[in-house]
Structure 1
Amino acid sequence: MLQLAWSFLYWYLRPLIKWFLRRTTKLCELQRICYGVPSGAQRTLEVEFSLENSRCAEIKRLISDLNQASESNKLDANGRSIIHYAVYTVCRVKCIDLHIHSQFTKSFGACVQQIWGYRQLLQEVENLRKTSYDSTNPNHEEKLLLLWSLLKPDEQLEARISKQWQEIGFQGDDPTTDFRGMGLLGLENLIFFAREYPKAARHVLSHSRHPNYGFVYAIVGINITSMAYYLLRNGTAKTHVYNACNGIPSLKLFHIMYSYLFFEFDKFWINEKPKNVMQFSIVREKYEKGLKDSLADPKTILRLNFHVDEI
């Protein structure tokens, strides 16, 4: 109740506070953030908050335009012109001299790239998640067979429908049904991890066969896809993304984050020494809580650190 009352009071007094600081510092809120807050997630998150809470009609219209551009995947093709439009609009509305405050235009433009690049990345990830695996699509089938060859390079797959799929952690003879929840995104994540970090992926696969702490590799991998997706969707991953990428984040950045999450979960699982695989949900929740606590720090960046020499 107290927090709700404070939030209401702050919202009511916010314009007055901004006016007072503008008069005393001769700088608008966005300038104060860009000049006074270190670059990275902390600055970008504060810029994002300032824009979202603006009561200016032109700023609201700008945000709507940027949302539409990111959701239409236009930032890559027209990124420079869109960023210039955003910077020019804010400088005009806030009466900021572009020549005197050239550093502001660079810093603010970088924040705009990160904020709406994140939205665009989310849209790309969402599109993949919504794409169902189609066994009649040759491209989908090719990707599935690629996953097998990456994880089991020395073993020939005897048939498309085979119990061999269970060796890499699918539930049955046909893996296609396991992609229902995360669609093609789950498969793309598994492939990226196995292709870009083959030693690490086989390290995790070997742990999945542990006599005491084994788990189903592919199913857990798809579950980690779900975790990564929801961290991205609810904004928890913004800290990492804003710190890891200075410009527009690509789908590759999401795949790298997934690879980190999968590898680190494997270590966490082994360290927890679960009695059996039925404790997966408990261990997963504990792992995710620690991850969220870490991402609450604006300085956090999830760095890949694959130590697999002990295999």
Structure 2
Amino acid sequence: MSGGAGGSERPEERQRFPPPGKSPPISALRQNGLLQVFVQGAGQPAGAEISEELRRAQEEWEAVEEIQSGLGETSASTSPPISFNEALQYFQTADLSECRKKVQATVRRQGLAALVRFFFGPPRLQPQLQGERELALAMAQCGLDDNERVHMRILQTIYKKLTCSRLGCPRYGAHWEELGFQGADPGTDLRGTGMLGLMQMLYFVMDAQMLPLAQEIFKLSQHETQNFPFCIMSVNITRIVIQALREECLSRECNRRQQVIAVLNDLYAAAFLQLYRLWKWQHKTVADSGFLLKELEFSTKKKPKQLLKSLEAYVNRGLQCPSSASGGSRPHEEINFTGICDPQVELEGEARLI
């Protein structure tokens, strides 16, 4: 090209552009000053408006940049993963007054059942632990809110950890079904567990000792014949744990450890571990899920200490094939997955995935 304000494009500047198919996003061009060179090299004087052709090229660059940054991620999806403790601190300081109003503190028994419970049941939760218990139940009443940045970070962290992806994902889409939710919106599957359901998933994938187990279970959920919806199964286990807390089945362990939420998380992981072992070594399928969830509820309520010891053994020794894969007692009660928000409703018939 002849002179003018633009001048000729120098060879070294042309060499800075990558070959076709390997072009940088438009932001990189701006940052390195290459967009100005590109305009001037096309014969435009410095400061002149970009031609229609170059405008379209710029739009295409921006589209590439959007794809490279994670399919049009929100600001939450570009944030670093959130730890369980950071998320818990958020809920400890958040205004959950409306959620707390919906909490039914305890499952009440009447008549002979109340008398038997009084003499032979587990001890009451100590007063100093009631606040933590109420916080857990309040989180279970808190719905997923698109406007709460912490909520979105929790969701994105779960996605990244399970998929081993460094990029986030759109808030809605079929990718959530691949993780084991029922549809394009994970929030619709949290009825009865609320944000506690996501918080327990977050614990599962962010705890260094639990992450290998979570990844093994997620891998099994993708099996050709033994597949199951991972996140839906997780929500069902959280519901079982919530019910055990409401019925004071965990009070002895909570009193011993002087913790509530940590006990809930460990019991959740322990229940998932038992489900994983039975599912894998007995070659179970989704058709067996109802019976296994019944058995899991019975173990969680009646034998929480045994489940927790099994988890402790896993942490110390890793995954092992159980000596008796068919072990466990027969469940004595029908499973109830209505959650704490609908304590009066009883489900009839065989248990099933929600």
Relative to the length of structure 1, the TM-score reads 0.57
8 Å CA contact 2:254–2:260 kept in 1: the answer is: no
In structure 2, the partner of 1:268 is 278
State how many pairs are aligned. Answer: 201
Aligned to 1:217: 230
Partner in structure 1 of residue 215 of structure 2: 202
SS in 2 for 1:124: helix
**2:196 is equivalent to residue 185 of structure 1:** yes
> How far off is 1:180 after superposition?
2.4
Q: Secondary structure of the equivalent of 2:144?
A: coil
User: For residue 302 of structure 1, what is the amino acid of its counterpart?
Assistant: L
User: Match of 2:149?
Assistant: 138
Contact 2:144 2:195 (8 Å CA) reproduced: yes
Flag the 1:269–1:242 CA change in 2: closer, same or farther, 3 A.
Answer: farther
Verify the 8 A CA contact 1:199 1:308 in the aligned structure 2: no
* 8 Å Cα contact 2:133/2:260 also seen in 1: no
Give the superposition deviation at 1:151.
1.3
Query: What aligned pairs does 1:1-311 form with structure 2 within 5 A after superposition?
Result: 45=122, 48=124, 115-154=126-165, 156-196=167-207, 197-243=210-256, 245=257, 248-274=258-284, 276-295=285-304, 302-303=308-309, 304=311, 305-306=314-315, 307-308=318-319
Residue 238 of structure 1: how far off its partner (Å): 2.2
* One-letter amino acid of the counterpart of residue 246, structure 2: R
Q: Deviations over 1:123-159 (max 9, x none)?
A: 1111101111111222211111111112122364453
Q: Deviations over 1:67-117 (max 9, x none)?
A: xxxxxxxxxxxxxxxxxxxxxxxxxxxxxxxxxxxxxxxxxxxxxxx6224
How many angstroms does 1:309 deviate by? 8.0
State the identity as a percent. 21
CA distance in 2 between counterparts of 1:281 and 1:118 reads 33
Describe the superposition over 1:27-81 as per-residue Cα deviations: whole angstroms up to 9, x where unpaired.
Answer: xxxxxxxxxxxxxxx9x956x5xxxxxxxxxxxxxxxxxxxxxxxxxxxxxxxxx
Distance in 2 between residues matched to 1:262 and 1:138, nearest whole Å: 28
Return closer, same or farther for 1:130/1:293 CA change in 2, 3 Å cut-off: closer
Report the Cα distance in structure 2 between the residues aligned to 1:294 and 1:250, rounded to whole angstroms.
Answer: 17
Given residue 167 of structure 1, which amino acid in structure 2 is its aligned partner? E
- Gapped runs of 5+ residues in structure 2? 1-110, 322-354
Query: In structure 2, do the counterparts of structure 1 residues 206 and 128 end up closer, same or farther at CA, with 3 Å as the change threshold?
Result: same
Query: Contact (CA 8 Å) 2:122, 2:248: kept in 1 or not?
Result: no
Whole-Å Cα distance in 2 between the matches of residues 233 and 158 of structure 1? 35
Contact in 1 for aligned 2:271/2:307 (Cα 8 Å): no
Q: Structure 2 counterpart of 1:175, which letter?
A: P
- Gaps of at least 5 residues in structure 1 are 15-41, 49-113
Q: What's the offset of the Cα at 1:169?
A: 0.9
Code of the aligned partner of 2:254: V
Corresponding position of 2:27: none
Q: Quick one: structure 1 residues 156 and 286, their matched pair in 2 at CA, closer, same or farther if it must change by over 3 Å?
A: same
Pair 1:258–1:290, CA change in 2 (3 A) = closer
SS in 1 for 2:126: helix
Q: 1:164 & 1:301 partners in 2: Cα distance?
A: 32
The offset of 1:174, in angstroms, is 2.0
More divergent stretch after superposition (197-206 vs 118-127): 118-127
User: Contact 1:157–1:164 (CA<8 Å) still a contact in 2?
Assistant: no
**Paired amino acid for 2:290:** S
Matched residue type, 1:235 = E
Q: Structure 1 CA distance, aligned partners of 2:262 and 2:302?
A: 24
Q: What's the offset of the Cα at 1:289?
A: 2.1
Within 2, Cα distance between the matches of 1:145 and 1:228? 24
The more displaced of 265-274 and 252-261 is 265-274
Q: 1:259 to 1:168 in 2, by over 3 A?
A: same
